[in-house]
Amino acid sequence: SQANIGVVGLAVMGSNLARNLASREGNTVAVFNRSRSKTDELVAAHPEAEFVPAFTYDEFAASLAKPRTAIIMVKAGAGTDAVIDALVDVFEPGDIIVDGGNALFTDTIRREKAVRATGINFVGAGISGGEEGALTGPSIMPGGSDESWVTLGPILRSIAAVAEGEPCVTHVGHDGAGHFVKMVHNGIEYADMQLIAEAYDLIRRGTGKSPAEIADVFAEWNRGELESYLIEITAEVLRQTDAATGQPLVDVIVDQAGAKGTGAWTVQTALNLGTPVSGIAEAVFARSLSSHPEQRSVAGALPGPVEALTVDDADAFIEDVRLALYASKIVAYSQGFDEIRAGAAEYDWSIDLGAIAKIWRGGCIIRAQFLNRISDAYAATPELAVLMTAPYFVEALGRAQGAWRRIVSTAAGAGIPAPAFASSLAYYDGLRADRLPAALIQGQRDFFGAHTYKRIDREGTFHTLWSGDRTEVEAEDTH
């Protein structure tokens, strides 16, 4: 029988996605893996699923109805290029190749251009939700052409998570737009995780509560405005006891955070775009700092504060931490969405930011009730230059800022690192400032490099003759 969709790469994510596809009405799924055994295992383990196993690329192509549509689920990198080349050899113009891995969006732009030249469609699709999401319903962020979306849309809608009745998939934009948005999703994921970790650390050090007791705090928070998958799983992790030692599991896990690169890409890209995603950057750097034991071994050599942290009212302190977390989270999402806007402008994608917030409400790692507030904000003001200036967020930040400031100063005073809390607050105050000391930086740049400056009271570009008589002259604009 002919399949309407194929999956190449049957490691955990690929097999789960293939099973998800096969479980939906109307889909027959061709499956192919470089080594035959994975294909045999998948088919044998799931007799209920309508799989069409293929053992060569030719068989795979022959098993697919036209336009042939295949999703590549291999580890991002050179392997992806090899699979694309093999599919291009056996596919025809009008067919569709989807890369469902965590590819760097610039690779996707390059691949889309090369594949398009053959008449075949290439779609980079971000897929979030981990192994379970792939099986039961991920959030999907596809880029690629409008033509490919006609065929792909119904298939992806059939397997995506559903949030408030709507499938968590939308055609994000052309070529690399989908992978760009997935990258920023991961950047926000890093920030959210770091903020939660800082909140946990402050509560633990401030109140002496055990991880299991702090799990209760997070479970409680998960019933309010912080409700989200990451808060929910935080409670689960904190409640876990290590079978071998009887200790809280979190106390026996080595405190060095890993990373596979998507967070760093988000920050590198933001640097290139000139978009400040400082909270996300702090989260990436906090993982780096944790993972350098040779640097951390100097700990004892660096003096700390004289006064230890004292918390008189534990409940009030915990509420302050909650508000600081909420405010910092708003900043992280605001920065992430600003980066998507900047990326869309740079790469000429038309991205509906409200639709992105909606497809993140289900299936993905950062799924949260809170995302409704973001789609509301963009529905009211599509051109919103800074997400957190939407009325709902302004109100929330106003309500939280006192607590946020207390927590950041308490952490600094007690020598507890809270980089993402602190940097988010600094960003907030930076945006609020009437005047920034950037004026002084312009003066310094003009002093040592004649880089010129603008004046607040007159049009034009100016330079002071610093090494001469220090009079001001009109100058060429050099930025």
The residues annotated with a catalytic role in the active site are 182, 189
- Binding flag, residue 281, ligand 6PG (CB under 6 A): no
Q: Is 178 in the site for ligand 6PG (CB under 6 A)?
A: no
| Residues 161, 282: Cα–Cα separation, whole Å | 30
Nearer to ligand 6PG, 175 or 189 (CB): 189
Quick check: 260 binds ligand 6PG (CB under 6 A)?
Answer: yes
The number of residues making up the chain comes to 479
Parallel, antiparallel or unpaired: strands 69-72 and 51-53:
unpaired
Interatomic CA distance for residues 62 and 454, integer angstroms: 65
**Interaction between residue 79 and ligand 6PG (CB under 6 A):** no
Query: Residue 398 CB: number of other CB atoms within 10 A?
Result: 10
Q: Smaller CB distance to ligand 6PG: residue 128 or 151? A: 128
**3-class SS at 46?**
coil
List the one residue from 95, 99, 107, 189 that touches ligand 6PG (CB under 6 A).
189
Q: Give the nearer residue to ligand 6PG in terms of CB position, either 230 or 396.
A: 230
**Interface region with ligand 6PG, contact rule CB under 6 A, candidates 122-130, 219-227, 247-255, 406-414:** 122-130
Is 130 a binding residue for ligand 6PG by CB under 6 A? The answer is: yes
Find the farthest-apart pair of alpha carbons in the chain and give their distance in angstroms, rounded: 87
Q: Per CB under 6 A, does 233 bind ligand 6PG?
A: no
Dist. CA 475–CA 99, nearest whole Å:
51
Told to check if 194 binds ligand 6PG by CB under 6 A, we report no
| Cβ proximity to ligand 6PG, 6 vs 133, nearer residue | 133
Region near ligand 6PG per CB under 6 A, out of 31-39, 141-149, 214-222, 257-265: 257-265
Q: Is 80 one of the binding residues for ligand 6PG (CB under 6 A)?
A: no
Binder to ligand 6PG among 27, 186, 423, 452 (CB under 6 A)? 186
Query: Does residue 129 bind ligand 6PG (CB under 6 A)?
Result: yes
> What's the DSSP call for residue 308?
P
> What is the C-alpha to C-alpha distance for residues 108 and 308, in angstroms, rounded to an integer?
51
Query: Count residues contacting ligand 6PG (CB under 6 A)?
Result: 13
Q: Kindly write out the interface string for residues 96-115 of this chain, putting x where it contacts ligand 6PG by CB under 6 A and - elsewhere.
A: ------x-------------
Q: Does 75 bind ligand 6PG (CB under 6 A)?
A: no
169 lies in the binding site for ligand 6PG (CB under 6 A): no
Q: Give yes or no for residue 20 binding ligand 6PG (CB under 6 A).
A: no
DSSP 411-428: HHHHT---HHHHHHHHHH
Q: How far is the CB of 260 from ligand 6PG (least distance, A)?
A: 4
Return d(Cα 178, Cα 99) in angstroms, integer: 10
CA angle 151–106–332, rounded 5-degree value = 95
Q: Decide if residue 246 touches ligand 6PG (CB under 6 A).
A: no
The minimum distance between CB 184 and ligand 6PG, in angstroms, equals 11
Helix/strand/coil for 193: helix
- Stretch (H or E) spanning 51: strand 51-53
Cβ closest to ligand 6PG, residue 72 vs residue 364: 364
Q: SS3 string of 2-39?
A: CECEEEECCCHHHHHHHHHHHCCCCCCEEEECCCHHHH
Nearer to ligand 6PG, 102 or 121 (CB): 102
Q: Judged by CB under 6 A, does residue 192 bind ligand 6PG?
A: no
Q: Are 250 and 240 contacting, i.e. CB atoms less than 8 angstroms apart? A: yes
Q: Which stretch binds ligand 6PG (CB under 6 A): 124-132, 268-276, 328-336, 398-406?
A: 124-132
Residue sitting closest to ligand 6PG (CB)? 128
**Is 16 an interacting residue with respect to ligand 6PG (CB under 6 A)?**
no
Measured CA to CA, the distance from residue 144 to residue 134 in angstroms comes to 20
Smallest distance, ligand 6PG to C-beta of residue 130, A? 5
Neighbouring C-beta atoms of residue 107, cutoff 10 Å: 18
Note whether 443 binds ligand 6PG by CB under 6 A.
no
List the structure tokens of 105. 């969006």
Residue with tokens 């109140």, as numbered in its chain: 207
3-state secondary structure of 163: strand
**Which range in 30-38, 256-264, 383-391, 447-455 contacts ligand 6PG by CB under 6 A?**
256-264
Contact pattern for ligand 6PG over residues 340 through 369, marking x by CB under 6 A:
------------------------xx----
3-state secondary structure 338-377: HHHHHHHHHHCCCCCHHHHHHHCCCCCCCCECCHHHHHHH
Angstrom distance (rounded) from CA 17 to CA 46:
13
Q: CB of 145 within 8 A of CB of 174?
A: yes
6 near ligand 6PG, judged by CB under 6 A = no
Instruction: For residue 449, give both structure tokens.
Output: 């490099």
Please give the single-letter amino acid code of residue 285: F
Candidates 83-91, 128-136, 200-208, 220-228 — which segment interacts with ligand 6PG by CB under 6 A? 128-136
Min CB(11)–ligand 6PG separation in Å: 13
Residues forming contacts to ligand 6PG in the complex (CB under 6 A) are 102, 128-130, 186, 189, 258-260, 262-263, 364-365
